[in-house]
Structure 1
Amino acid sequence: MYTLGIDIGSTTSKAVILKDGSDIIASSVVVATVGTDGVPKAVEGVMEESGLAIGDMSCTVATGYGRQTYEGADHQVSELSCHALGVYRIFNDARTIIDIGGQDAKVLALNEQGRMINFVMNDKCAAGTGRFLDVMANILNLKIEQLEIEAQKSQNPVSISSTCTVFAESEVISQLAAGAKIPDLVEGICRSVAARTAALAKRVGVREKVCMSGGVARNAAIRRAMSRELGMDIAYDEKAQIMGALGAAIYGFSKVKQGEN
């Protein structure tokens, strides 16, 4: 049995095909905003990789920011539930999930059975999100994947105190003009994102094991800064960016097993 999970984020579309609810047969990530051709490209990617077709899917589940824009889904499910399912499949001892997305940041608390028991979300301000990192990278004339490389070179991190992306942009420009080194600015930016997200986590109540999911989790500098802020290790898996899509595919499998599809 094959199930398809599609996570339609604000800046990327992710798709996962799951076999019998456990084996990842194919996955794809396409950088494209909601309303563009990102979703069909992500779906096309997993179909090509797996050699399967949409007709082979027993269930298709859409999740994420743009889930209601996808008409081919059998179910539409909150990304909170899907990230919980995806992370718990990889880390069954996970109790806190930190997901920094393109436009928001979320922290989820799980119980011993992997059920979400509490969450907090910041979706009112871009500071502390992937969008914030994109803006900062652009100011520094860096690609987003270069941030963690530059941060490793830092010897004297610069404090970024502004809580607004626009003001932080001005602050970084001023620091550059004053002679601040790019690695120190990058490390300061990563610590700023971590501090804001850690504040959210503390509102939920941080319990180990703490795991990061989502695209920003791939940034080792952010993970290090988060570990520093929380005073504990951060668990990470290379599938972090597709956790939502994985959870959606798992949800689809459960619905088929229950006879609801």
Structure 2
Amino acid sequence: MIVAGCDVGSLTAEAVIMTNGSILGSEIIRVRPTAEQSAKDVMDKVLAKLHLSYDNIDYCVSTGYGRETIPFADSNVSEISCHGRGAQWLIPTIRTVIDVGGQDCKAIRVDERGLLEDFVMNDKCAAGTGRSLELMAEVLGVDITRLGPLSLEATSPVVITNQCSIFAEMEIMHYLCEERSIADVAAGINEAMARRVKMLVGKVGVKEDIGVTGGVSKNIGVVQYLEKMLGKKFVQFSEDPQIVGALGAAIFAAEKARESKP
């Protein structure tokens, strides 16, 4: 039995193909103008890599913001449930999942089966999201992938006091006019992001083990600041943390496929 999970977010789309409890392959792309096109392109890419076709997929679950508009999906599940399930499948001891995506930030608590216990989400403001970090990186004139490593080179990190992304951007420009180093400003950006995420996590409560998913999980600066603020060390996933939502969707797909069999 071959199943698929497709996660269409605000900045990226991911797909995971599984068979018999093992991951066959995965792909990540930048989103296209529509959720339908994003889902098709990422699925086409992973299927081509595995020399498979849509006819080979027994069941597909979609998740993410565009989950209800994916024509080839058999059903859809919320990204909150999928991130929790995917993270717990990779690390059975995980109980708290911090997902920082392009458009929102979520703190998720799961039980020993990976099922949702509680969650809190910030989707009303760009602050504390991957898109916010992208905008700040543009102001610094660096690629988003450099923002984390740069902050490790800081000698005197700046302090970003504004929670609003627009005012924070003005604050960053002020520091650059003062000729503060790019590394010091990058560290300030990452520390401010971690501070906002910590406030959200505090609302749901922290239970170990803890894992971070989503694109921002690849920013070593944010992750290290957050670990320091929470006083906890995060577990490391064996797979790319950005595919955890799609992985969870594929796991749900396998369960639904078994349930639908006569």
Q: What TM-score bracket applies, with the shorter chain setting the length?
A: over 0.9
Establish whether residue 32 from structure 1 lines up as the match of residue 22 from structure 2.
no
Are the equivalent residues in 2 in contact too, given 1:109–1:118 (CA < 8 A)?
A: yes
Establish whether residue 216 from structure 1 lines up as the match of residue 216 from structure 2.
yes
| Percent pairwise identity | 37
Residues 104-133 of structure 1: per-residue CA shift (max 9 Å, x gap): 000001123322110000000000100110
Please list every run of 5 or more consecutive structure 2 residues that lacks an aligned counterpart in the other structure: none
Displacement of 1:38 after TM fit?
2.5
TM-score when scaled to structure 2?
A: 0.96
Equivalent residue, structure 1, for 2:95: 95
Equivalent residue, structure 1, for 2:166: 166
Displacement of 1:180 after TM fit?
1.3
Equivalent residue, structure 1, for 2:245: 244
Residues 188-235 of structure 1: per-residue CA shift (max 9 Å, x gap): 111111110111111101111110011110111111011011111012
Displacement of 1:257 after TM fit?
1.2
Aligned equivalents of 2:157, 2:248: Cα separation in 1: 37
Equivalent residue, structure 2, for 1:258: 259
Aligned equivalents of 2:92, 2:51: Cα separation in 1: 30
Q: Which runs of 4+ in 1 moved over 3 A?
A: none
Residue type at the aligned position of 1:176 = L
Aligned equivalents of 1:11, 1:76: Cα separation in 2: 19
Displacement of 1:258 after TM fit?
1.3
Are the equivalent residues in 1 in contact too, given 2:8–2:31 (CA < 8 A)?
A: no
Aligned equivalents of 1:252, 1:116: Cα separation in 2: 17
Mapping of 1:185-196 within 5 angstroms?
185-196=185-196
Are the equivalent residues in 2 in contact too, given 1:98–1:107 (CA < 8 A)?
A: yes
Establish whether residue 119 from structure 1 lines up as the match of residue 119 from structure 2.
yes
**1:40 alignment partner, SS class:** helix
Aligned equivalents of 1:113, 1:75: Cα separation in 2: 21
**2:58 alignment partner, SS class:** strand
Are the equivalent residues in 2 in contact too, given 1:61–1:77 (CA < 8 A)?
A: yes
Displacement of 1:64 after TM fit?
0.3
Equivalent residue, structure 2, for 1:149: 149
CA spacing shift, 1:121–1:63, aligned 2, 3 Å: same
- Which range moved further: 34-43 or 210-219? 34-43
Aligned equivalents of 1:28, 1:243: Cα separation in 2: 12
Aligned equivalents of 1:69, 1:180: Cα separation in 2: 46
**2:260 alignment partner, SS class:** coil
Equivalent residue, structure 1, for 2:232: 232
TM-score when scaled to structure 1?
A: 0.96
Aligned equivalents of 1:222, 1:46: Cα separation in 2: 30
Displacement of 1:256 after TM fit?
1.1
Establish whether residue 80 from structure 1 lines up as the match of residue 80 from structure 2.
yes
**1:234 alignment partner, SS class:** coil
Equivalent residue, structure 2, for 1:49: 49
Are the equivalent residues in 2 in contact too, given 1:108–1:118 (CA < 8 A)?
A: yes
Displacement of 1:33 after TM fit?
4.5
Displacement of 1:260 after TM fit?
6.2
Aligned equivalents of 2:74, 2:260: Cα separation in 1: 13
Establish whether residue 6 from structure 1 lines up as the match of residue 6 from structure 2.
yes
- Which range moved further: 175-184 or 27-36? 27-36
Are the equivalent residues in 2 in contact too, given 1:63–1:245 (CA < 8 A)?
A: yes
Aligned equivalents of 1:50, 1:209: Cα separation in 2: 33
Please list every run of 5 or more consecutive structure 1 residues that lacks an aligned counterpart in the other structure: none
Aligned equivalents of 2:9, 2:112: Cα separation in 1: 28
Residues 82-102 of structure 1: per-residue CA shift (max 9 Å, x gap): 001100011110111000000
**1:92 alignment partner, SS class:** coil
User: How many equivalent residue pairs?
Assistant: 260
